[in-house]
Structure 1
Amino acid sequence: MNIDIPSVDVRACWQPPALRSSHAFGHWLPAIFLLVFIVPWLLSGCGGGSSGGYADRPPSDRVAYTAWQEWTKFGRSTVVYGGQAGGYVNRSGVTERSEPLSSKIGDYWGSCGHPSWNGRSSKPWSGAFVAWTMAHSGVSGSDFPRDGRHGGYLAALYDRQQKGGRVPFVLHAPNEYSPKPGDLVCTGTSGPTWRHADSRTARRRIDSTASHCDIVTDVRGGYVQAIGGNVKNSVTMSLFPVDSRGRLVPFAGKTWFMVVEKRV
């Protein structure tokens, strides 16, 4: 249906209110309605609202929520592998050499026994971010080591898994398990070769070749959303593509190492 919007002579807006009749005001109503209601409705996505991207609600998992809070606090730096997804696009946040993030990195390192290290100390701090997030989410040091090196805490988790019994974290090859909020997705130079090696070799590879881990905050729309420290010199969310089962997809620039399932 076509709606004819009446033309309006701009000289009318200079008439004093006393000269305007109720009939003249009624003549203006369609144009006023267009400007006040229709245009904002169109700009906001035809009234449907936004359920994705940066308007998302925080995750319910406690570890994921702690990471999400830090990401939000420091400007929501984002990397999307694939261009854009669900409203997320590449963007920068507060950098490690700028306050308040620079001092905050000292808190991350403090959870690992190095409070004097901060964003200006040139120390890679992605492992410290993971350890701090676990500590501030109520995960005990006995369940997750306060180690600022990815290989260090992953090797310790592997040792715990090998002993059997109650296991707070389980290490999986990337093609064996679909990550969920609170889990870790990790890269490493040797890839998942540790998975089928003898225990001694596996531990050595885990300890020496782990590169980086991010904390999963959501899985939807064909992507894992995961937050990590020292990515783009900030606390950054990365969106990694997954297959129809929700498992990480190999792609150029990332060598998937393992997925760590959080059971606590």
Structure 2
Amino acid sequence: MSHARPLRKLPLLLLLVMLSGCAAAMPPRPLAPPETVRASIIRLAEQEWAAFNGQTIRFDALGREIIAPVGFWEDERRGDALVAKYWRAVGSDWRGFDVDKPWSAAFISWVMAEAGVPAEEMPPSATHAGYLRAAIAAGGGKWRAHPPEDYAPRPGDLICATRAGQKIERFDVIPVGATLHCDIVVLTGVGRLWSIGGNVRNSVSRTERQIDAAGRLARDDVRPWFLVLENRYPR
């Protein structure tokens, strides 16, 4: 009568390394026809905004911020699971309960991956500087950088601002480790555009923003815009 050979015990350190590698593994990107990418980016951003219960930000005539409705936040049970999904897109196992970990770039990375944007165009990154540097370096293929004063954003574009006093000398030269924030433009109208971003007031929020008569972003002291990344996928 034969007996099954007992399994050898893996050293604890090796086992932990293997498990951590599984947790941080990034899922493969789906392939998508180029003509579907722009619409998918907008649809996915709106889908995630709705999943956070549609938190919406606008500003009154005095520039005061109004949030209505207030959606789910990152440190609520539903928000926690959604933020964890975005972190997995950049190979991290943080969650929404990890409120000290900024996740706005992970949100953008998740949207781009799910929409089928190739990783060589926009690699997954936990920082906005990481994927912006790669997209700009790609040479103007599917993404092209513009200064905000020269280009009117359209749905599917990214609008990017500096944070925490970061100084950017050129719109198309992003310093390594720059502190930034980007939103996805989802709708434009007369004098207004609407954009969706992650980790905006602790949620995925849609914000109403002013644009001038030519459709360009108005000066904003809250979000010092320095770059519009044009999405050149088919409309």
TM exceeding 0.5 = yes
Q: Is contact 1:92–1:232 with CA below 8 Å preserved after alignment? A: no
Is the Cα contact below 8 Å between 1:76 and 1:92 reproduced in 2?
Answer: yes
Unaligned runs of 5+ in 2: 1-37
Quick one: distance in 2 between partners of 1:177 and 1:218?
16
RMSD over aligned CA atoms reads 2.1
Tell me which of 209, 214, 218 is aligned to 2:178: 209
CA contact (8 A) 2:55 2:67 kept: no
Q: Percent identity?
A: 33
CA offsets per residue over residues 115-162 of structure 1, 9 Å max, x none?
Answer: x2010112100000000011111212122111121011111122222x
Secondary structure of the residue aligned to 1:113 is coil
Q: 1:179 aligned to 2:179? A: no
Is 2:54 the counterpart of 1:76?
Answer: yes
Q: RCO (CA 8 Å, sep 6+): is it higher in 1 or 2?
A: 2
**Contact persistence 1:83–1:89 (CA under 8 A):** no
CA contact (8 A) 2:103 2:198 kept: yes
Aligned residue number for residue 240 of structure 1 = 209
Q: Which amino acid aligns with 1:95?
A: W
Counterpart CA distance in 2 for 1:89 and 1:253 is 15
Question: How far did residue 209 of structure 1 move?
Answer: 3.1
Instruction: Give how far 1:221 is off.
Output: 3.2
CA distance in 1, matches of 2:194, 2:179: 20
In the TM superposition, what are the counterparts of 1:19-168 in structure 2 within 5 Å?
Answer: 61-82=39-60, 90-114=68-92, 116-121=93-98, 122-161=100-139, 167-168=141-142
Quick one: which amino acid aligns to residue 224 of structure 2? Answer: T
Task: Give the letter for the 1:133 counterpart.
Answer: V
Q: Which amino acid aligns with 2:169?
A: T
Once residues 83 and 91 of structure 1 are traced to their aligned partners in structure 2, the CA distance between those partners, rounded to angstroms, is: 19
Which of structures 1 and 2 has the bigger CA Rg?
1
3-state SS of paired residue (1:100)? helix
Q: Which residue is 2:223 aligned to?
A: 254
For 1:14, the equivalent position in structure 2 comes to none
Q: How does 1:182-193 map to 2 (within 5 A)?
A: 182-188=156-162, 189-190=165-166, 193=169
Alignment correspondent of 2:198: 229
Deviations 1:37-76 (A, max 9, x none): xxxxxxxxxxxxxxxxxxxxxxx82201110011011111
Residue aligned with 1:144, SS: coil
Deviation at 1:231, TM superposition (A): 0.5
Q: Tell me the distance in 1 between the aligned counterparts of 2:81 and 2:115.
A: 20
| 8 A contact 2:127–2:177 mirrored in 1 | no
Q: Shift of residue 82 of structure 1?
A: 3.5
SS at match of 1:94: coil
Q: Which has the higher helix share?
A: 1
Task: State the 4+ residue runs in structure 1 displaced beyond 4 angstroms.
Answer: 189-192
Is the CA contact (8 Å cut-off) linking 2:129 and 2:174 kept in structure 1?
no
C-alpha contact (below 8 Å) 1:129/1:229 kept by paired residues: yes
Gaps of 5+ in 1: 1-59
Paired residue total: 190
